[in-house]
Amino acid sequence: MRVLAALSGGVDSAVAAALAVEAGHEVVGVHMALSTSPQECRIGSRGCCSVEDAGDAARAAEHLGIPFYVWDLAEEFERTVIADFVDQYRRGATPNPCVRCNEFVKFRELALRAQVLGFDAVCTGHYARLVAGPHGPELHRGWDLLKDQSYVLAVMGGEQLSRVLLPLGEAPSKAWVRAEAARLGLGVESKPDSYDICFIPDGDTRGFLRARLGTAPGAVVTDDGTQVGTHQGYWNFTVGQRRGLALPDPAPDGRPRYVLRTDPAKNVVVVGPEEMLSVDRIDAREVVWLAPDDAADECADTGCGQVLAQVRAHGRALPVRRLTWEDAPCSAGDQGAAAGGLTVELEEPMRGVATGQSLVLYRDSRVLGQATITGAGRTP
């Protein structure tokens, strides 16, 4: 196959490209330049898309003997990821920019260009598995559950599964991947993993939002509307947050307060005790369904495996008691397409669920689908 390998400059993508070469594919490497300031250097293990990353990607391609190109996707990244990130916070939501980047840049844009150029597949260094199923490729968790990235890949859509290679899906550990990088002589085996939000390399999300949104002084209130403090912008807070509230007085019972929600229309941050963060019902829309053979509306009593719900990249997946389709139920024709809205009821409460987060449903290790959370609460 003719394979377009995305080379970020890190160890994972370099090893994935090398394994594709070893498998006999005709591989071409491409580095997606996403930063509007690519001349900036990395800050330790924070951020990516720096001048060092581009250089490391080029050296890995040269070592593998494959053609290498740099594609400037900074404009697309700014429009679809960064601008959306800011807008979601303005709306009082908590976005996941990694999900958005995978959806619009790393798969939609990259896959579209690869298809136009005549490539059969795109190769990335994500830790997730593609398993052949009776209805086509299925997306599953990677073997290394500590590194599993199926959560952020669920948004790619079923139509992309047949045009993707994920060579690290069966990697037993990150240590194994680093050992492979050393064996192959790629020169990146000791490079630290990037973390936090790549376009905020100093880790100061508040400072980034303040530069984009300014300040807007408002009230911090309890659930009954009693003011207990002030804030400089509701977008600085997300559900479950405790640090940074700077409340002048403790709660009457002395217990800590947490952010329960924000109200952009009133410019208030609502706080309360920890137990008010627990929900067992999650509403979501913009469904992307990857399992045309599994509508998932029957859960624990089907004998086909428990449906699990996960709302963070490495969060705990909890059993689903009931799943209800709010609009059109999923059918075989809905693979990879928006399938209306859904509501899941959990077997046990989940803490700190925020609007804007991704809800991903699994059956055993298989990804069934993904949706964007619009609300959460407690069932009567």
Catalytically annotated residue among 49, 198, 299, 330: 198
**Which is nearest to 37 in space by CA: 159, 258, 178, 198?**
198
Question: Which amino acid belongs to residue 92?
Answer: G
Q: Provide CB contacts within 8 A for 181, sequence distance 6+.
A: 11, 14, 15, 18, 187, 188, 189
Catalytically annotated residue among 101, 123, 299, 330: 101
Question: Is residue 48 flagged as an active site residue?
Answer: no
Q: Where do the DSSP E strands lie in the chain?
A: 2-6, 26-33, 68-72, 121-123, 128-133, 136-141, 164-165, 218-222, 227-231, 258-263, 268-272, 278-289, 307-310, 318-325, 342-351, 358-363, 366-377
Question: Is residue 330 flagged as an active site residue?
Answer: no
Q: Distances in Å between the alpha carbon of 17 and those of 2, 58, 68, 178? A: 12, 12, 12, 14
Q: 233: buried, middle or exposed (CB in 10 Å: 19+, 13-18, 0-12)? A: buried
Length of the chain: 380
CB 32 within 8 Å of CB 73:
yes
Q: What is the C-alpha to C-alpha distance for residues 367 and 369, in angstroms, rounded to an integer? A: 6
244: number of Cβ within 10 Å = 10
Q: Provide CB contacts within 8 A for 83, sequence distance 6+.
A: none
Catalytic residues: 101, 198
